[in-house]
A = this chain, B = another copy of it.
Amino acid sequence: MTGKPLLRVGILTVSDRASQGVYQDLSGPAVRAYLEGALPYRLAFRHLLVPDEVEAIQRGILDLAASSGLVVTTGGTGPAPRDVTPEATLPLLEKPMPGLPEAIRAASLRDTPTAILYRGVAGVRGRSLVLNLPGNPKAIPTCLGAVLPALPALLRLIGALEEGPGLAPGPQEEEGPRG
């Protein structure tokens, strides 16, 4: 039962209002809740909250990617003036993976015609997959569900999973029960 690999997950909520405390971050917890129910790994989460600023987003992604096999951002993927998450993310990707946002748009389009406005990017940086999701918490399950069937193969191929019982969780991280 200790044989399940460990996946460290970094969640970056990108939102001017949530980062100012004007309203509560709902999409970050929605990402976490979905992944806890869907991924067959021990999971350790870190969560950061930044405003819609390119530099702050990049610092957040770099920080999380250095310690996580999966970095999910949420927010800032639309066409509005403050939406700059794709522009912040793209230069940090060593290997863009256009099939992921493509699958997210295709799955979301079944429910909502504005799904084609999603400009998120995804790709590999080191041993991390970085994935932009939209900021609407209700959209999170559909978006993550669109890429979920390919995630285990992807995470394994890039070395994102930590095997074996000897690995302690990093600082600031919570980890689920080891069973």
A contact residues vs B (CB 8 Å cutoff): 78-81, 83, 86-87, 95-103, 105, 109, 113-119, 124, 129, 147, 149-150, 153-154, 157-159
Please determine whether B113 and A149 come into contact, CB atoms closer than 8 angstroms. yes
A146's nearest neighbour on chain B, judged by CB, is B116
Closest Cβ of chain B to A165, distance in Å, is 25
Extra contacts besides A81-B158, A98-B101, A103-B105 (7): CB < 8 Å: A78-B157, A99-B105, A99-B117, A99-B119, A102-B116, A114-B149, A115-B150
Report the bound CA distance from A100 to B109 in whole Å: 12
Please determine whether B150 and A117 come into contact, CB atoms closer than 8 angstroms. yes
In the complex where A79-B124, A113-B149, A159-B81 touch, is A95 in contact with B103 (Cβ < 8 A)?
no
